[in-house]
Amino acid sequence: MSEKRDYYEVLGVSKDATEADIKKAFRKMARKYHPDLNKDNAKEAEEKFKEANEAYEVLSDSQKRAQYDQFGHAAFEGGGGGGAGGFGGFGGFGDGSSDFGDIFDAFFGGGGRSGGRRQGPQRGDDLRYNLEIDFEEAAFGKEAELTIPRTEECKTCHGSGAAPGTQPEECPKCHGTGQVQEVHNTPFGRMVNARTCDRCGGTGKIVKKPCPDCRGEGHTRIRRKINVKIPAGVDDNSRIRVSGGGEAGDRGGSPGDLYVYITVRPHKIFHRNGNDVICEVPVSFVQASLGDKIEVPTLDGKVEISVPAGIQSGTILRMKGKGIAYLRGNGRGDQHVKVKVLTPQKLTSRQKELLREFADEKNENVNPEQKSWQDKIKQFFK
Protein backbone atom coordinates (compact mmCIF):
# COMPACT_ATOMS: atom_id res chain seq x y z
CA MET A 1 0.00 0.00 0.00
CA SER A 2 1.33 3.40 -0.91
CA GLU A 3 2.12 5.82 1.89
CA LYS A 4 -0.67 8.23 2.79
CA ARG A 5 -0.31 11.82 1.66
CA ASP A 6 -0.25 14.67 4.14
CA TYR A 7 -3.84 15.75 4.86
CA TYR A 8 -3.04 19.43 4.39
CA GLU A 9 -1.51 18.60 1.02
CA VAL A 10 -4.59 16.58 0.05
CA LEU A 11 -6.88 19.57 0.60
CA GLY A 12 -4.35 22.08 -0.72
CA VAL A 13 -4.28 24.23 2.43
CA SER A 14 -1.52 25.44 4.74
CA LYS A 15 -1.04 24.12 8.28
CA ASP A 16 -2.34 27.40 9.73
CA ALA A 17 -5.54 27.27 7.64
CA THR A 18 -8.73 28.27 9.43
CA GLU A 19 -11.77 26.05 9.81
CA ALA A 20 -13.50 28.03 7.05
CA ASP A 21 -10.48 27.57 4.74
CA ILE A 22 -10.56 23.81 5.30
CA LYS A 23 -14.29 23.58 4.69
CA LYS A 24 -14.02 25.64 1.50
CA ALA A 25 -11.15 23.51 0.20
CA PHE A 26 -13.02 20.29 0.89
CA ARG A 27 -16.15 21.55 -0.82
CA LYS A 28 -14.11 22.31 -3.92
CA MET A 29 -12.48 18.85 -3.87
CA ALA A 30 -15.79 17.08 -3.25
CA ARG A 31 -17.40 18.72 -6.26
CA LYS A 32 -14.36 18.20 -8.46
CA TYR A 33 -13.97 14.47 -7.80
CA HIS A 34 -17.57 13.41 -7.31
CA PRO A 35 -17.84 10.02 -9.10
CA ASP A 36 -21.00 10.96 -10.98
CA LEU A 37 -19.23 13.91 -12.60
CA ASN A 38 -16.19 11.87 -13.62
CA LYS A 39 -17.55 9.03 -15.73
CA ASP A 40 -14.38 8.75 -17.85
CA ASN A 41 -12.08 8.21 -14.86
CA ALA A 42 -14.56 7.13 -12.20
CA LYS A 43 -12.15 4.85 -10.30
CA GLU A 44 -9.45 7.52 -9.94
CA ALA A 45 -12.03 10.17 -9.04
CA GLU A 46 -13.55 7.92 -6.39
CA GLU A 47 -10.13 7.41 -4.77
CA LYS A 48 -9.51 11.16 -4.77
CA PHE A 49 -13.00 11.69 -3.32
CA LYS A 50 -12.33 9.21 -0.52
CA GLU A 51 -8.91 10.73 0.17
CA ALA A 52 -10.45 14.20 0.52
CA ASN A 53 -13.16 12.78 2.83
CA GLU A 54 -10.53 11.23 5.07
CA ALA A 55 -8.47 14.42 5.27
CA TYR A 56 -11.49 16.58 6.03
CA GLU A 57 -12.80 14.24 8.74
CA VAL A 58 -9.56 14.78 10.67
CA LEU A 59 -8.76 18.44 9.94
CA SER A 60 -12.32 19.65 10.56
CA ASP A 61 -12.25 18.23 14.12
CA SER A 62 -10.09 20.38 16.42
CA GLN A 63 -9.16 17.44 18.69
CA LYS A 64 -8.28 15.08 15.85
CA ARG A 65 -6.41 17.86 14.07
CA ALA A 66 -4.31 18.51 17.17
CA GLN A 67 -3.47 14.79 17.38
CA TYR A 68 -2.58 14.71 13.71
CA ASP A 69 -0.38 17.82 13.97
CA GLN A 70 1.55 16.17 16.80
CA PHE A 71 1.77 12.53 15.67
CA GLY A 72 0.83 12.55 11.98
CA HIS A 73 -0.97 9.49 10.57
CA ALA A 74 0.36 7.41 13.46
CA ALA A 75 -2.17 9.11 15.72
CA PHE A 76 -4.93 6.99 14.17
CA GLU A 77 -3.16 3.67 13.62
CA GLY A 78 -3.35 0.51 15.67
CA GLY A 79 -6.53 1.43 17.54
CA GLY A 80 -4.89 4.22 19.52
CA GLY A 81 -7.34 6.98 18.90
CA GLY A 82 -9.43 5.18 16.31
CA GLY A 83 -9.29 2.05 14.19
CA ALA A 84 -8.06 2.42 10.64
CA GLY A 85 -9.76 0.60 7.85
CA GLY A 86 -13.00 0.67 5.91
CA PHE A 87 -13.92 3.63 3.74
CA GLY A 88 -11.29 6.33 3.78
CA GLY A 89 -9.29 4.39 6.40
CA PHE A 90 -11.41 5.57 9.34
CA GLY A 91 -13.90 3.98 11.64
CA GLY A 92 -15.45 5.54 14.69
CA PHE A 93 -12.27 7.09 16.15
CA GLY A 94 -12.71 5.02 19.27
CA ASP A 95 -16.29 5.90 20.19
CA GLY A 96 -18.32 5.12 17.09
CA SER A 97 -19.90 8.52 17.21
CA SER A 98 -18.31 10.06 14.13
CA ASP A 99 -20.83 10.78 11.37
CA PHE A 100 -19.32 12.00 8.14
CA GLY A 101 -22.77 13.14 7.05
CA ASP A 102 -22.35 16.45 8.85
CA ILE A 103 -19.92 17.52 6.12
CA PHE A 104 -22.55 17.35 3.42
CA ASP A 105 -25.14 18.72 5.83
CA ALA A 106 -23.06 21.88 5.95
CA PHE A 107 -22.51 22.04 2.19
CA PHE A 108 -25.52 20.52 0.49
CA GLY A 109 -28.27 19.90 3.03
CA GLY A 110 -28.50 22.33 5.91
CA GLY A 111 -30.72 22.09 8.93
CA GLY A 112 -29.28 18.86 10.28
CA ARG A 113 -30.62 15.30 9.91
CA SER A 114 -30.53 12.01 11.72
CA GLY A 115 -30.64 8.31 10.97
CA GLY A 116 -31.15 7.54 7.27
CA ARG A 117 -33.00 10.69 6.29
CA ARG A 118 -31.91 12.47 3.15
CA GLN A 119 -30.64 15.97 3.18
CA GLY A 120 -33.30 18.57 2.47
CA PRO A 121 -33.34 21.93 0.71
CA GLN A 122 -30.59 24.37 1.59
CA ARG A 123 -31.02 28.15 1.47
CA GLY A 124 -28.61 30.05 -0.77
CA ASP A 125 -25.85 32.31 0.54
CA ASP A 126 -26.41 36.04 1.08
CA LEU A 127 -24.49 38.54 -1.06
CA ARG A 128 -23.06 41.98 -0.30
CA TYR A 129 -22.82 44.89 -2.73
CA ASN A 130 -21.06 48.18 -1.93
CA LEU A 131 -22.76 51.17 -3.58
CA GLU A 132 -21.40 54.73 -3.63
CA ILE A 133 -23.92 57.54 -4.18
CA ASP A 134 -23.89 61.35 -4.29
CA PHE A 135 -24.87 63.60 -1.37
CA GLU A 136 -28.04 64.73 -3.17
CA GLU A 137 -28.99 61.12 -3.99
CA ALA A 138 -28.73 60.26 -0.30
CA ALA A 139 -30.92 63.25 0.56
CA PHE A 140 -33.69 62.56 -1.96
CA GLY A 141 -33.30 58.85 -2.78
CA LYS A 142 -32.92 57.20 -6.18
CA GLU A 143 -33.49 54.07 -8.25
CA ALA A 144 -30.24 52.17 -8.84
CA GLU A 145 -29.66 49.39 -11.36
CA LEU A 146 -27.05 46.95 -10.03
CA THR A 147 -25.32 44.16 -11.93
CA ILE A 148 -24.87 41.26 -9.52
CA PRO A 149 -22.80 38.14 -10.31
CA ARG A 150 -24.61 35.25 -8.66
CA THR A 151 -25.74 31.64 -9.08
CA GLU A 152 -29.27 30.88 -10.24
CA GLU A 153 -31.24 27.71 -10.81
CA CYS A 154 -30.29 26.18 -14.17
CA LYS A 155 -33.02 26.97 -16.69
CA THR A 156 -32.30 23.79 -18.66
CA CYS A 157 -32.68 21.20 -15.90
CA HIS A 158 -34.66 23.37 -13.43
CA GLY A 159 -32.21 22.59 -10.67
CA SER A 160 -32.24 18.79 -10.93
CA GLY A 161 -28.77 18.55 -12.47
CA ALA A 162 -30.04 15.95 -14.96
CA ALA A 163 -30.04 16.33 -18.72
CA PRO A 164 -33.39 17.19 -20.38
CA GLY A 165 -35.61 14.13 -20.69
CA THR A 166 -33.96 12.40 -17.72
CA GLN A 167 -34.42 12.47 -13.96
CA PRO A 168 -32.12 11.77 -11.00
CA GLU A 169 -32.42 8.14 -9.91
CA GLU A 170 -32.31 6.47 -6.52
CA CYS A 171 -28.75 5.80 -5.43
CA PRO A 172 -28.10 2.03 -5.66
CA LYS A 173 -25.47 2.14 -2.91
CA CYS A 174 -27.51 3.73 -0.10
CA HIS A 175 -30.95 2.93 -1.60
CA GLY A 176 -32.03 6.53 -1.37
CA THR A 177 -31.20 7.06 2.31
CA GLY A 178 -28.11 9.21 1.72
CA GLN A 179 -26.12 7.16 4.26
CA VAL A 180 -24.26 3.88 4.43
CA GLN A 181 -23.16 1.98 7.50
CA GLU A 182 -19.82 0.35 8.22
CA VAL A 183 -19.15 -2.29 10.83
CA HIS A 184 -15.70 -2.35 12.50
CA ASN A 185 -14.34 -5.03 14.78
CA THR A 186 -12.31 -3.37 17.52
CA PRO A 187 -10.78 -4.55 20.80
CA PHE A 188 -13.87 -3.07 22.42
CA GLY A 189 -16.33 -5.02 20.28
CA ARG A 190 -18.21 -4.34 17.05
CA MET A 191 -18.84 -0.71 16.22
CA VAL A 192 -21.21 0.63 13.58
CA ASN A 193 -20.37 3.94 11.97
CA ALA A 194 -22.87 5.77 9.73
CA ARG A 195 -21.39 8.06 7.10
CA THR A 196 -22.58 10.01 4.10
CA CYS A 197 -22.85 7.91 1.00
CA ASP A 198 -19.85 8.65 -1.21
CA ARG A 199 -21.78 7.74 -4.35
CA CYS A 200 -24.60 10.29 -4.07
CA GLY A 201 -23.03 12.77 -1.63
CA GLY A 202 -25.90 12.26 0.82
CA THR A 203 -28.69 13.30 -1.53
CA GLY A 204 -30.04 9.77 -2.00
CA LYS A 205 -30.07 10.28 -5.77
CA ILE A 206 -27.56 10.08 -8.60
CA VAL A 207 -27.50 11.78 -11.96
CA LYS A 208 -26.51 9.35 -14.67
CA LYS A 209 -26.61 11.91 -17.46
CA PRO A 210 -25.62 15.39 -16.19
CA CYS A 211 -27.20 18.52 -17.64
CA PRO A 212 -24.92 19.89 -20.40
CA ASP A 213 -25.41 23.50 -19.28
CA CYS A 214 -24.73 23.23 -15.54
CA ARG A 215 -22.73 19.95 -15.65
CA GLY A 216 -24.90 18.41 -12.99
CA GLU A 217 -24.62 21.29 -10.52
CA GLY A 218 -28.27 22.33 -10.83
CA HIS A 219 -27.37 26.03 -11.03
CA THR A 220 -25.32 28.34 -13.25
CA ARG A 221 -23.31 31.53 -12.75
CA ILE A 222 -24.76 34.64 -14.37
CA ARG A 223 -24.71 38.45 -14.09
CA ARG A 224 -28.20 39.59 -13.11
CA LYS A 225 -29.42 43.20 -13.25
CA ILE A 226 -31.42 44.14 -10.16
CA ASN A 227 -33.22 47.44 -9.55
CA VAL A 228 -32.84 48.72 -6.00
CA LYS A 229 -34.77 51.63 -4.49
CA ILE A 230 -32.51 53.83 -2.36
CA PRO A 231 -34.80 55.64 0.12
CA ALA A 232 -34.42 59.36 0.86
CA GLY A 233 -32.36 60.02 3.97
CA VAL A 234 -29.85 57.15 3.78
CA ASP A 235 -26.41 57.81 5.20
CA ASP A 236 -22.99 56.14 5.26
CA ASN A 237 -23.15 52.44 6.21
CA SER A 238 -26.91 52.26 5.68
CA ARG A 239 -27.89 48.73 4.63
CA ILE A 240 -30.67 47.87 2.20
CA ARG A 241 -31.95 44.28 2.01
CA VAL A 242 -33.17 42.84 -1.28
CA SER A 243 -35.07 39.66 -0.49
CA GLY A 244 -34.13 36.77 -2.79
CA GLY A 245 -31.32 38.74 -4.44
CA GLY A 246 -28.54 36.38 -3.26
CA GLU A 247 -27.22 33.02 -4.39
CA ALA A 248 -29.52 30.22 -5.51
CA GLY A 249 -30.40 27.53 -2.98
CA ASP A 250 -29.64 23.82 -3.37
CA ARG A 251 -32.21 21.09 -3.94
CA GLY A 252 -35.14 23.47 -4.10
CA GLY A 253 -33.97 25.70 -1.28
CA SER A 254 -34.85 29.41 -1.33
CA PRO A 255 -32.27 31.92 -2.60
CA GLY A 256 -30.29 34.07 -0.19
CA ASP A 257 -30.68 37.83 0.15
CA LEU A 258 -28.71 40.73 -1.28
CA TYR A 259 -27.47 43.40 1.12
CA VAL A 260 -26.54 46.77 -0.39
CA TYR A 261 -24.20 48.85 1.79
CA ILE A 262 -24.26 52.60 1.11
CA THR A 263 -21.31 55.01 1.00
CA VAL A 264 -22.11 58.71 0.46
CA ARG A 265 -19.58 60.84 -1.41
CA PRO A 266 -18.52 64.08 0.38
CA HIS A 267 -20.08 67.32 -0.95
CA LYS A 268 -18.06 70.41 -1.87
CA ILE A 269 -20.42 72.80 -0.01
CA PHE A 270 -22.65 70.86 2.35
CA HIS A 271 -21.86 68.83 5.44
CA ARG A 272 -24.31 66.56 7.19
CA ASN A 273 -25.15 66.35 10.89
CA GLY A 274 -27.92 63.79 11.29
CA ASN A 275 -30.74 65.13 9.15
CA ASP A 276 -29.45 68.71 9.21
CA VAL A 277 -27.32 70.26 6.48
CA ILE A 278 -24.56 72.73 7.36
CA CYS A 279 -22.87 75.18 5.00
CA GLU A 280 -20.59 78.17 5.48
CA VAL A 281 -21.38 81.44 3.65
CA PRO A 282 -18.88 84.34 3.45
CA VAL A 283 -20.11 87.94 3.80
CA SER A 284 -18.14 91.14 3.51
CA PHE A 285 -17.28 93.47 6.38
CA VAL A 286 -19.75 96.01 4.99
CA GLN A 287 -22.57 93.44 4.62
CA ALA A 288 -22.02 92.26 8.16
CA SER A 289 -22.02 95.81 9.48
CA LEU A 290 -24.99 97.20 7.56
CA GLY A 291 -26.97 94.04 6.93
CA ASP A 292 -27.94 92.68 3.49
CA LYS A 293 -29.89 90.10 1.53
CA ILE A 294 -27.75 87.27 0.13
CA GLU A 295 -28.33 84.13 -1.94
CA VAL A 296 -27.60 80.85 -0.17
CA PRO A 297 -27.28 77.42 -1.89
CA THR A 298 -29.62 74.69 -0.63
CA LEU A 299 -30.43 71.15 -1.74
CA ASP A 300 -33.50 72.61 -3.47
CA GLY A 301 -31.62 75.43 -5.24
CA LYS A 302 -30.74 79.03 -4.34
CA VAL A 303 -32.70 80.80 -1.59
CA GLU A 304 -32.46 84.48 -0.54
CA ILE A 305 -32.03 85.17 3.17
CA SER A 306 -31.53 88.32 5.23
CA VAL A 307 -28.28 88.98 7.07
CA PRO A 308 -29.03 91.23 10.06
CA ALA A 309 -26.86 94.31 10.59
CA GLY A 310 -24.00 93.83 13.05
CA ILE A 311 -23.87 90.03 12.61
CA GLN A 312 -20.73 88.42 14.00
CA SER A 313 -18.56 85.83 12.28
CA GLY A 314 -19.60 82.29 13.28
CA THR A 315 -23.27 83.17 13.77
CA ILE A 316 -25.66 80.40 12.65
CA LEU A 317 -28.76 81.24 10.61
CA ARG A 318 -31.39 78.48 10.54
CA MET A 319 -33.42 77.60 7.44
CA LYS A 320 -36.24 75.33 8.58
CA GLY A 321 -37.11 72.27 6.50
CA LYS A 322 -34.20 72.63 4.07
CA GLY A 323 -32.26 69.63 5.34
CA ILE A 324 -32.39 65.89 4.62
CA ALA A 325 -35.52 63.75 4.73
CA TYR A 326 -36.09 61.59 7.79
CA LEU A 327 -35.46 57.96 6.84
CA ARG A 328 -38.26 56.70 9.06
CA GLY A 329 -40.93 59.35 9.27
CA ASN A 330 -42.15 62.49 7.58
CA GLY A 331 -40.52 65.85 7.07
CA ARG A 332 -36.94 67.04 6.72
CA GLY A 333 -34.20 68.42 8.89
CA ASP A 334 -32.98 72.03 8.76
CA GLN A 335 -30.16 73.82 7.01
CA HIS A 336 -27.77 75.80 9.19
CA VAL A 337 -25.92 78.66 7.51
CA LYS A 338 -22.72 79.59 9.30
CA VAL A 339 -21.76 83.20 8.56
CA LYS A 340 -18.10 83.94 7.94
CA VAL A 341 -17.22 87.67 8.00
CA LEU A 342 -14.36 88.46 5.64
CA THR A 343 -11.77 90.98 6.86
CA PRO A 344 -10.80 93.50 4.12
CA GLN A 345 -7.34 93.01 2.60
CA LYS A 346 -5.08 95.09 0.32
CA LEU A 347 -6.78 98.37 1.22
CA THR A 348 -6.15 101.59 -0.67
CA SER A 349 -4.89 104.66 1.14
CA ARG A 350 -8.36 106.20 1.01
CA GLN A 351 -9.97 103.06 2.48
CA LYS A 352 -7.43 103.01 5.32
CA GLU A 353 -8.10 106.68 6.03
CA LEU A 354 -11.85 106.04 6.20
CA LEU A 355 -11.37 103.13 8.57
CA ARG A 356 -9.22 105.25 10.87
CA GLU A 357 -11.92 107.92 10.87
CA PHE A 358 -14.43 105.22 11.64
CA ALA A 359 -12.32 103.97 14.54
CA ASP A 360 -12.02 107.49 15.94
CA GLU A 361 -15.77 107.86 16.14
CA LYS A 362 -17.01 107.66 19.74
CA ASN A 363 -19.57 104.92 18.97
CA GLU A 364 -16.80 102.49 18.01
CA ASN A 365 -15.34 102.71 21.51
CA VAL A 366 -18.58 102.09 23.37
CA ASN A 367 -19.43 98.73 21.82
CA PRO A 368 -20.87 96.79 24.81
CA GLU A 369 -19.14 93.52 24.00
CA GLN A 370 -15.78 95.18 23.43
CA LYS A 371 -16.10 97.26 26.63
CA SER A 372 -16.95 94.13 28.64
CA TRP A 373 -13.87 92.38 27.30
CA GLN A 374 -11.62 95.35 28.08
CA ASP A 375 -12.96 95.44 31.66
CA LYS A 376 -12.20 91.74 32.09
CA ILE A 377 -8.63 92.24 30.87
CA LYS A 378 -8.09 95.09 33.35
CA GLN A 379 -9.38 92.95 36.20
CA PHE A 380 -7.13 90.06 35.18
CA PHE A 381 -3.92 92.14 35.24
CA LYS A 382 -4.82 93.72 38.59
Q: Which residues lie closer than 8 Å to 322 by C-beta, 6 or more apart?
A: 277, 298, 299, 300, 303, 332, 334, 335
Question: Which whole number is the average pLDDT over 308-319?
Answer: 94
At residue 185, the pLDDT reads 67
pLDDT confidence band for 99 (50 / 70 / 90)? very low
Nearest Cα to 256, choosing from 150, 328, 184, 379?
150
Q: Are 115 and 198 in contact (CB under 8 A)?
A: no
Burial group, residue 215, by CB count within 10 angstroms (0-12, 13-18, 19+): middle
Q: Which of 88-97, 307-316, 343-352 has the lowest mean pLDDT?
A: 88-97
For 155-188, write each residue's pLDDT tens digit. 888 888 889 988 888 888 888 888 888 776 665 5
Which ranges constitute the DSSP H helices of the chain? Answer: 7-11, 19-32, 42-59, 62-71, 101-104, 135-140, 285-290, 349-360, 362-365, 368-381
What's the confidence (pLDDT) of residue 161?
A: 86
157 is in an annotated binding site: yes
- Region label for 77, one of left (φ > 0), alpha (ψ between -120 and 50) or beta (otherwise): beta
Q: Among residues 193, 195, 202, which one has the least CA distance to residue 97? A: 193
Is residue 174 a known part of a binding site? yes
Say if residues 58 and 11 touch (Cβ distance below 8 Å).
no
Cα torsion angle, 86, 90, 95, 100, sign: negative
User: Using alpha carbons only, what angle is made at residue 377 by residues 371 and 382, rounded to the nearest 5 degrees?
Assistant: 130
Instruction: Report whether 279 belongs to an annotated binding site.
Output: no
Pairwise CA distance, residues 148 & 144, whole Å? 12
Residue 214 is assigned to a ligand binding site? yes
Query: Minimum mean pLDDT among 22-26, 42-46, 225-229, 285-289: which range?
Result: 42-46
pLDDT band at residue 78 using 50, 70 and 90 as cut-offs: low
In this prediction, residues 324-332 reach a mean pLDDT of: 89
DSSP letter string, 170-209: E-TTTTTSSEEEEEEEETTEEEEEEEE-TTTTTSSEE-SS
pLDDT for residue 334: 96
Say whether 211 counts as a known binding-site residue: yes
Which tens digit of pLDDT belongs to each residue from 103-157?
444 343 333 333 444 456 788 899 999 999 999 999 999 999 999 999 888 888 8
Segment 361-382 shows an average pLDDT of 64
Judge whether 257 and 241 are in contact, CB under 8 Å.
yes
pLDDT value of residue 107: 41
> Which pTM value belongs to this model?
0.57
Report the pLDDT value the prediction gives residue 91, as an integer from 0 to 100. 32
